[in-house]
Amino acid sequence: MSTKIPVAVLAATGSVGQRFVQLLDRHPLFEVVALTASDRTTGQKYGQACHWILPGDMPGWAAEMTLLPTEAASAATPLAFSALPAEAALEIEPEFARAGTLVCSNASAYRNEPDVPILLPEVNPDQAAILEAQRRRRGWTGGIVTNSNCTSTGMTVALKALQDAFGLRRVFAVSMQALSGAGYPGVSALDIVDNVIPWIRGEEEKVEWEPRKMLGSLRGEEIVPADFRISAHTNRVAVVDGHMVCLSIELANPATPEEAARVLAEYQAPEAARDLPSAPRPVIVVRREPDRPQPRLDRMTGNGMATVVGRVRPDPLFDIKMVVFSHNTIRGAAGGSIYNAELLARLKVIGR
Amino acid sequence: MSTKIPVAVLAATGSVGQRFVQLLDRHPLFEVVALTASDRTTGQKYGQACHWILPGDMPGWAAEMTLLPTEAASAATPLAFSALPAEAALEIEPEFARAGTLVCSNASAYRNEPDVPILLPEVNPDQAAILEAQRRRRGWTGGIVTNSNCTSTGMTVALKALQDAFGLRRVFAVSMQALSGAGYPGVSALDIVDNVIPWIRGEEEKVEWEPRKMLGSLRGEEIVPADFRISAHTNRVAVVDGHMVCLSIELANPATPEEAARVLAEYQAPEAARDLPSAPRPVIVVRREPDRPQPRLDRMTGNGMATVVGRVRPDPLFDIKMVVFSHNTIRGAAGGSIYNAELLARLKVIGR
Amino acid sequence: MSTKIPVAVLAATGSVGQRFVQLLDRHPLFEVVALTASDRTTGQKYGQACHWILPGDMPGWAAEMTLLPTEAASAATPLAFSALPAEAALEIEPEFARAGTLVCSNASAYRNEPDVPILLPEVNPDQAAILEAQRRRRGWTGGIVTNSNCTSTGMTVALKALQDAFGLRRVFAVSMQALSGAGYPGVSALDIVDNVIPWIRGEEEKVEWEPRKMLGSLRGEEIVPADFRISAHTNRVAVVDGHMVCLSIELANPATPEEAARVLAEYQAPEAARDLPSAPRPVIVVRREPDRPQPRLDRMTGNGMATVVGRVRPDPLFDIKMVVFSHNTIRGAAGGSIYNAELLARLKVIGR
Amino acid sequence: MSTKIPVAVLAATGSVGQRFVQLLDRHPLFEVVALTASDRTTGQKYGQACHWILPGDMPGWAAEMTLLPTEAASAATPLAFSALPAEAALEIEPEFARAGTLVCSNASAYRNEPDVPILLPEVNPDQAAILEAQRRRRGWTGGIVTNSNCTSTGMTVALKALQDAFGLRRVFAVSMQALSGAGYPGVSALDIVDNVIPWIRGEEEKVEWEPRKMLGSLRGEEIVPADFRISAHTNRVAVVDGHMVCLSIELANPATPEEAARVLAEYQAPEAARDLPSAPRPVIVVRREPDRPQPRLDRMTGNGMATVVGRVRPDPLFDIKMVVFSHNTIRGAAGGSIYNAELLARLKVIGR
């Protein structure tokens, strides 16, 4: 008999939903028992309803599962991974949380709430403790834990290492983001072949704020954002997977590029997050070639869970320039949520 | 009998050389009388030796011309357009200058010299006056006038409008640059399909320095760079033509995005540069859509000579964020050199 | 007072509708007096409702027009260009035809009807005569004239020249088609970056049949398809505009590649179609380089109206191999319809 | 002590050479003891001299190896994998063969020789027997075994299954080939972004001939090509890895698409080739979706060693239409050579 934790994937047919199904195949801790979808396809087999867009075949067990409606009544597992769009998440995720499900969510709907953590196990596992206050306040027996916007993820991991060592003052961030970040069908091919789109709706606001919350601190029953500022430009480019971010960073205590590179390369996740199945080892891979990271070559570093940093060099205005890269649908979405759930399982806060 | 000024195109078979040939077809002031190439192909017809990579056919007159060696002896016209690589330019351009040719050069070889202007007619036509000192000092009867690196061009035009109105302090610039900027064959397709390369050799140094020289001032016999600083990250993306630059700008005197956008849209070239054949009208096109400029849609604005600005908005660290776009092989290379020559013809400094 | 023929563009906001608006700007014979759209946007200005995706700005006159519903009642012009999807066309185009409008349609809805011509002025202007029978039979005072599927267009022009000279027996056709052929948003970027899709719904059937109708003959009141056979494979590739087709052709009377190339290069449109504003001159451009045609370089040949043929060479199974290229949204869609209308205006069958 | 067969990789720094190094990492039968390169880089470490362009890091053992000159004197192993260009192979491979090395070659130099097999273990392992005659005739103690051109590989596997079941008469083949097939740097990005190149030097000739030799039979001391004919068009598209071929096939004994699909899906490699480490199982994957195979999704099927077939359907001129896909640098190059060597090791013809 399986002792794995039974989980549901909410909105399993979309591009992030598919990544969940792929990454949960043969997962050591979790067993998918429910796949949900929008009304249009419930009742169909996942194999029929889902236009699978990932390399490799859909796992056989998933193909055979019957899609359920996205309702707490039908899919009340102790743990659920949510790939719901923000609007739907706003209503549906609390329903699950109330019914006792701990929801690990990719949606932005609740990221702004001071009692909902944006969790990044390598960075802020301590913020998981806010769950207790969340449950008490809201009368939930489950809860909502989010992961950050896919662009914020990699840069926050890198900023954490620098924050610990030197402190942060100001950060310029310019992203070149992959197509899969916009879902499927997402971006029209006519908009991106031989082109760049210098705008992604709502993205700059998220990138300017989410890292500050993740790098903030728990004070009483609230998470207080860290005291530094970010300016972001976000762009879409013709890349399938993997977000690249150019960073210029002003530190509180100046450091040389060599010192910064060393601190990045040696960064260790906090104890609680270290030996989990999805934990990348090392957390940050620092590349020394002049022209790396590159999406096509570096996206699967650490099974797509590592943060890759390159081109650490002096900045004529601030202190350090560098390029940060991470896989947007693995580290920045489905893989990140699963890593969060692994942390929460270890902390024994699932399924009370 | 033609009263046009006879010109040579040096290194006419490469990607910038081809743009020169294309843009000089039926030019009202200039007539191509010599096309030069490397030794390997001299003596052949241009039509045979040149693998034409631009849409539209090679002009018939060019196809029939016999390629000359790139030597002052064989191609001594009053005016020459140079598409030479930097190393070759270092030696060859002064030869022509000594022989009485005014060389309008795309090469970076002489841009750093304090008596060689980096000319941008909309921005600093006054710096053409340094030619006199250059000739006297160096004993040349011709001279060398350069145009800037293709990434610096558009951003310098935009910065000029803001400098005049508000003064400049600090600028962050992150580029996403087109393939044609690397010449032909240039970038390997394997390096850019489904990819971004976050590095272009020597480019960041140029972008951090050239705009300051162009926006500087003439003091005695030298051009003194403007007193503001730039930090640049330069990236290569899978776009055929057109460089995009994300800018965050700290002004000396703060302005709102609306004020900045107005100043940009109303910017006029100095009198001397206004009614020239290649002059874009308006100089700067400010787009109001949230997602423009875009390379595929905006590259031919003003026949590829206009600077296109979009997304003018507040910056949380500095004052203004915006995106600047211009065509790298037209405005940023061949078209820019021709525009420079038109200015120099008007100023009557060609062919003494 | 304008003596131009007033025209409507049906479904003006989509990708083909935009091409109509662009190509009808300053047209010598036609003046756009009505732009129609789906209910969702009627009443709005075209400039607001339409997300313009073509390089260059939307014409000012179009931006200011108010979108009408696509109904004969509101847009009863003597001539209409239809960019309606097939299903909508099935119902709406006859309404217009009944009300006296001659509809030049891009839709496939009526192409199969024996009294509806698929018109290609360079190829079968004589088939326009079927309009009389169409009107009589159906009791229409207007009518419906279609242009072919965008992939069939170029290859039919080339096949016509060979049919006239040598007769046709069997044709293998494998297409590599552009993204704009699928409309906007059309193909998802995730489906085509670093990819090829070897299937386009319904396309192979059209390519195997339409050329035979266009190359057929008028017998009594019906168009009888030509007696040769086609096998087609159709593929989508990451190209913005322009469909390429590899052809292997078995002729009735064998010819050498040289003879075939000469016949193609010398092909002339029938008299009636020769001097129309949109007529390409020459009809077919035969390229002699080993590696042409290519979409990026050849798409605008003859303002996008020419058929470009290259690589004419022997075929080990049939007689001749070659590659045919034409612009799918100009020659193969909007431009083709306008060319048809120019022919019909000359034949004086518009607006009785 | 290792009992693996020591092998050399000739021309190890190029794109196929890198695949060899990657695929030989931890190979159960072979151990790389020599990496060779052109004179320019011999003496350097592989890790320094080689610009690694594959996702994932270069194996550590390879990075540390010192590059040898490509000479039999310095790299005389019983087995060598050759990624040499055709011209170099012409001279160098026989040197190795004479010195006792069995060369598994990707080069086309010797494919035409009647005593040199083009080996495809799933298809013609019996042709390995010609090695004996080759050695005797040429006085070699080693030998040369080639693998086919990367485009011929997948289609030949599929044709073999049909040949066995129904016999072959005529085949039309139109390829859409990946960039990696042209090596590195290979295709210029400017030639392929938003483009297709309808020509690959020398490729159509190979595709029209090599499958016939591989599907031919051993008669006495020569391989006699099979008696059917092929017409090929070859095209380059903007895909990183994986060649797609559209086929129309005339069979000797007609079959329905269903029968053909069954025969393809059930095809088994000859006994000798079945249980080798690189053998794909199944040999051919038949996909039933209307729009597969696709390069991005199907390239890694069977670790890149399987042949993927889709869209099996009737052909209006011949019998069957279908699309064949296989990975060009794995199945069609390095992986294919290694699979050949595994077969030769089993047949005990290495290292006499």
**H, E, C per residue of A196-215:** CECCCCCHHHHHHHHHHHHC
The reply to whether C275 touches chain D by the CB within 8 Å rule is no
What Rg do the C-alpha atoms of chain C give, in angstroms? 19
| Range A282-291 burial, b when 16+ CB lie within 10 A, else e | bbbbbbeeeb
Instruction: Choose among A248, A294, A318: nearest Cβ to B196.
Output: A294
Alpha carbon distance B217, C6 (integer Å): 58
**Is the Cβ–Cβ distance between D322 and D311 less than 8 Å?**
yes
pLDDT in tens, A37-54: 988 899 999 999 999 999
Q: Average pLDDT for residues C124-148, to the nearest whole number?
A: 96
Average pLDDT over chain B reads: 96
Q: Which pLDDT value is given to residue B39?
A: 82
Q: Average pLDDT for residues D280-295, to the nearest whole number?
A: 97
**Class of domain D152-325 (CATH, top level):** alpha beta
Task: Indicate the Cα dihedral angle A224, A225, A227, A229, nearest 10°.
Answer: -160
CATH number (3.30.360.10, 1.10.630.10, 3.40.190.10, 3.40.630.30) of C150-327 reads: 3.30.360.10
Strand C79-82: give its sheet, edge to edge. C68-69, C30-37, C5-10, C79-82, C102-105, C143-146
From A121-125, A134-138, B145-149, D348-352, the region with the lowest mean pLDDT: D348-352
Structure tokens at D267: 């095809």
Shortest CA gap C137–chain B (Å): 47
Other Cβ atoms within 10 Å of B196 Cβ, number: 28
Average pLDDT over chain D reads: 96
The reply to whether C172 touches chain D by the CB within 8 Å rule is yes
List C-alpha distances in Å: A302 to A27, C87, D56: 16, 50, 10
Q: What angle do CA C80, C82, C86 make, to 5 degrees?
A: 145
User: Residue written as tokens 């019906």?
Assistant: C222
Q: Is the pLDDT of residue C1 over 60?
A: no
Q: Which pLDDT value is given to residue B75?
A: 78
Shortest CA gap D161–chain A (Å): 24
Alpha carbon distance C282, C274 (integer Å): 10
Q: In this structure, are strands A222-224 and A217-219 parallel, antiparallel, or unpaired? A: antiparallel
Residues of B in contact with D328 (CB under 8 A): none
Q: Average pLDDT for residues B285-306, to the nearest whole number?
A: 97
Average pLDDT over chain C reads: 96
Structure tokens at A53: 């867009």
**Segment (H or E) for A146:** strand A143-146
Structure tokens at D258: 């269903």
- Break chain A into its structural domains and give their ranges: 5-149+334-346, 151-326
Residues of B in contact with C299 (CB under 8 A): 55
**Fold match between domain D5-149+334-346 and domain D152-325:** no
Rounded to the nearest angstrom, the gap between the alpha carbon of residue D37 and the centroid of all alpha carbons in its chain is 21
Structure tokens at B15: 């990607």
pLDDT in tens, C207-226: 999 999 999 999 988 999 99
**Is the Cβ–Cβ distance between C87 and C70 less than 8 Å?**
no
Tell me which of A204, A233, A239, A245 to substitute to probe the interface with B (most B C-beta atoms closer than 10 Å): A233
The reply to whether C193 touches chain B by the CB within 8 Å rule is yes
H helical segments located in chain A: 15-24, 46-49, 60-63, 86-98, 130-138, 150-166, 203-214, 257-266, 295-298, 335-346
State which fold the A151-326 domain adopts.
Answer: Dihydrodipicolinate Reductase; domain 2 (3.30.360)
Q: Is the pLDDT of residue B179 over 90?
A: yes
pLDDT band of D76, cuts 50, 70, 90:
confident
Shortest CA gap B326–chain D (Å): 18
Q: Which pLDDT value is given to residue D268?
A: 98
Choose, from B50, B104, B243, B327, the residue flagged as catalytic: B243
pLDDT band of B1, cuts 50, 70, 90:
low
In eight-state DSSP terms, residue D156 is H
User: Residue written as tokens 């979009």?
Assistant: B310
Alpha carbon distance A313, A307 (integer Å): 18
Q: Which chains touch A (3 or more CB pairs under 8 A)?
A: B, C, D
**Class of domain A5-149+334-346 (CATH, top level):** alpha beta
Q: Is the pLDDT of residue D117 over 90?
A: yes
Instruction: Choose among B53, B56, B300: nearest Cβ to C56.
Output: B300
Other Cβ atoms within 10 Å of D9 Cβ, number: 32
List C-alpha distances in Å: B122 to B104, B119, B145: 16, 9, 15
In percent, how much of chain D has pLDDT > 90?
95
Choose, from C27, C50, C233, C243, the residue flagged as catalytic: C243
Q: Which pLDDT value is given to residue A79?
A: 97
Average pLDDT over chain A reads: 96
In three-state form (DSSP H/G/I as H, E/B as E, the rest C), the secondary structure along chain C is: CCCCEEEEEECCCCHHHHHHHHHHCCCCCEEEEEEEECCCCCCCEHHHHCCCCCCCCCCHHHHCCECEECCCCCCCCCEEEECCCHHHHHHHHHHHHHCCCEEEECCCCCCCCCCCCECCCCCCHHHHHHHHHHHHHHCCCCEEEECCCHHHHHHHHHHHHHHHHHCEEEEEEEEEECHHHHCCCCCEHHHCCCCCECCCCCHHHHHHHHHHHHCCEEECCEEECCCCEEEEEEEECCCCCCEEEEEEEEECCCCCHHHHHHHHHHCCCCHHHCCCCCCCCCCEEECCCCCCCCHHHHCCHHHHCCEEEEEEEECCCCCEEEEEEECCCHHHHHHHHHHHHHHHHHCCCCCC
Q: Average pLDDT for residues C108-114, to the nearest whole number?
A: 95
Q: Average pLDDT for residues A153-179, to the nearest whole number?
A: 98
Residues of C in contact with A184 (CB under 8 A): 188, 190
Q: Which pLDDT value is given to residue C351?
A: 67
Shortest CA gap D192–chain B (Å): 7
Structure tokens at B58: 């090679």
Q: Which pLDDT value is given to residue A39?
A: 82
Alpha carbon distance D117, D99 (integer Å): 19
Q: Could you give the maximum distance between any two Cα atoms of chain B, in Å?
A: 61
Q: Is the pLDDT of residue B97 over 60?
A: yes
**Segment (H or E) for D344:** helix D335-346
**Is the Cβ–Cβ distance between D273 and D122 less than 8 Å?**
yes
The reply to whether C13 touches chain A by the CB within 8 Å rule is no
Q: Which pLDDT value is given to residue A73?
A: 85
| Range D275-308 burial, b when 16+ CB lie within 10 A, else e | ebebbbebbbbbbeeebbbbbbbbbbbbebbbbb
In percent, how much of chain C has pLDDT > 90?
95
Q: Is the pLDDT of residue D324 over 70?
A: yes
Alpha carbon distance C258, C252 (integer Å): 17
In eight-state DSSP terms, residue B255 is -
Chain B residue at shortest CA distance from A202: B290
CA atoms within 13 A on the CB side of C256: 3
**Backbone φ and ψ of B307, nearest 5°:** -95, 130
The reply to whether B296 touches chain C by the CB within 8 Å rule is yes
pLDDT band of A1, cuts 50, 70, 90:
low
Residues contacting A149, CB < 8 A, separation 6+: A108, A111, A203, A206, A207, A210, A332
Q: In this structure, are strands A68-69 and A79-82 parallel, antiparallel, or unpaired? A: unpaired
Q: Do A53 and D193 touch (CB under 8 A)?
A: no
In percent, how much of chain A has pLDDT > 90?
95
Nearest to B301 by CA among B171, B173, B154, B97: B154
Q: Do C189 and A189 touch (CB under 8 A)?
A: yes
Residues of A in contact with D194 (CB under 8 A): 193-194
Q: In this structure, are strands A143-146 and A102-105 parallel, antiparallel, or unpaired? A: parallel
Q: Which pLDDT value is given to residue D75?
A: 78
Alpha carbon distance B179, B194 (integer Å): 14
**Segment (H or E) for A35:** strand A30-37
Q: Which pLDDT value is given to residue D1?
A: 52
Q: Is the pLDDT of residue D352 over 80?
A: no
Nearest to D177 by CA among D186, D166, D165, D168: D186
Chain B residue at shortest CA distance from D52: B191
Residues of C in contact with D231 (CB under 8 A): 172, 248, 315-318, 321
Active site residue D27: no
Q: Which chains touch D (3 or more CB pairs under 8 A)?
A: A, B, C
Q: Which pLDDT value is given to residue D351?
A: 67
Q: Which pLDDT value is given to residue D14?
A: 92
Q: Is the pLDDT of residue A105 over 90?
A: yes
Residues of B in contact with A317 (CB under 8 A): 170, 172, 229-231
The reply to whether B178 touches chain D by the CB within 8 Å rule is no
CA atoms within 13 A on the CB side of C204: 22
Q: Would the ipTM clear 0.90, i.e. be above it?
A: yes
pLDDT band of D281, cuts 50, 70, 90:
very high
Q: Average pLDDT for residues D61-67, to the nearest whole number?
A: 97
Active site residue C27: no
Q: Do B189 and D238 touch (CB under 8 A)?
A: yes
pLDDT band of D314, cuts 50, 70, 90:
very high
The reply to whether A116 touches chain B by the CB within 8 Å rule is no
Q: Do A296 and D194 touch (CB under 8 A)?
A: no
Structure tokens at A2: 């399986």
pLDDT in tens, C161-207: 999 999 999 999 999 999 999 999 999 999 999 999 999 999 999 99
Q: Do D186 and B184 touch (CB under 8 A)?
A: no
Q: Is the pLDDT of residue B209 over 90?
A: yes
The pTM (predicted TM-score) of the whole model is 0.97
From B207-221, C213-227, C303-317, C338-352, the region with the lowest mean pLDDT: C338-352
Q: Is the pLDDT of residue B352 over 70?
A: no
Q: Average pLDDT for residues C242-265, to the nearest whole number?
A: 98
Q: Average pLDDT for residues B100-105, to the nearest whole number?
A: 97
Q: In this structure, are strands B284-286 and B307-314 parallel, antiparallel, or unpaired? A: parallel
Q: Is the pLDDT of residue B182 over 80?
A: yes
Q: Average pLDDT for residues A274-287, to the nearest whole number?
A: 97
pLDDT in tens, D138-182: 999 999 999 999 999 999 999 999 999 999 999 999 999 999 999
Instruction: Choose among C196, C230, C317: nearest Cβ to D237.
Output: C196
**Is the Cβ–Cβ distance between C255 and C238 less than 8 Å?**
no
Instruction: Tally C-beta pairs within 8 A across B and C.
Output: 22
Q: Average pLDDT for residues A81-102, to the nearest whole number?
A: 96
Residues contacting B60, CB < 8 A, separation 6+: none
Q: Is the pLDDT of residue B41 over 70?
A: yes
pLDDT in tens, C241-250: 999 999 999 9
**Is the Cβ–Cβ distance between B81 and B337 less than 8 Å?**
yes
Q: Which pLDDT value is given to residue C324?
A: 98
Helix, strand and coil content of chain D, in percent to the nearest 5, comes to 35, 25, 40
pLDDT band of C76, cuts 50, 70, 90:
confident
The reply to whether A231 touches chain B by the CB within 8 Å rule is yes
> For C317, left (φ over 0), alpha (ψ -120 to 50), or beta?
alpha
Q: Which chains touch B (3 or more CB pairs under 8 A)?
A: A, C, D
The reply to whether C254 touches chain D by the CB within 8 Å rule is no
The reply to whether C197 touches chain D by the CB within 8 Å rule is yes
Other Cβ atoms within 10 Å of D231 Cβ, number: 21
Q: What angle do CA D54, D59, D63 make, to 5 degrees?
A: 100
pLDDT in tens, A109-156: 999 999 999 999 999 999 999 999 999 999 999 999 999 999 999 999
